[in-house]
Structure 1
């Protein structure tokens, strides 16, 4: 009973924060790399890809559960290799060297993409 009450109270306190969160407001800080900035890097990559050829792509939202440390070097991007087993196309946003932390030295985040309607 007490656990249930604590959980309900904690949930009601967190709800306004969760309702106001969006990728648009999830910018990078001193300690973490924000999903907004990761998505923007994927958008730059896709803009270059769209300028190259016949296919046209739209960038979707990265997984909102992703939390990665701030990158210490410029981000890199490329198509996610099919060998990683993703069922749909995505762009891999890569950090080759994160700021010193206890969790990870480097990271990569797949950002899903889809063909624009009307594309071949």
Structure 2
């Protein structure tokens, strides 16, 4: 019974925390790499691609379910290869060397993109 009361009273607090989360406020810390910085690297890459005139793209938000350790080197970005089987276009943000941790040495985060609407 006590567990039920605890769960019911803490649920609104958890929901409030989740609804207040956004990519804009998710910056890197000593232990994890923030989605803000990951999305910004994808935006830099897409800005370069858009400048080449091969199409116009907008960067969407990375999957909030992904948690990656802090990257020890500058991030890189590239188009996600079609061979990976992704159904929609995306940019892969790459960390070639994460700070030492017990989980992963390097990581990739796929950031979805969409074509900008054609101008009339």
Q: Deviations over 1:38-69 (max 9, x none)?
A: 00000000000000024000000100111100
Counterpart residue number, 2:115 = 115
Counterpart residue number, 2:44 = 44
Q: Secondary structure at the match of 1:42?
A: helix
Q: Report how many residues are paired.
A: 119
Q: How does 1:1-80 map to 2 (within 5 A)?
A: 1-80=1-80
Counterpart residue number, 2:103 = 103
Give the drift of 1:20: 1.3
Gaps of 5+ in 2: none
Gaps of 5+ in 1: none
Q: Distance in 2 between matches of 1:110 and 1:48?
A: 18
Q: Distance in 1 between matches of 2:43 and 2:90?
A: 11
Q: Secondary structure at the match of 1:7?
A: helix
Give the drift of 1:3: 4.5
Q: Distance in 1 between matches of 2:101 and 2:54?
A: 42
- TM (norm. structure 2) is 0.92
Counterpart residue number, 1:84 = 84
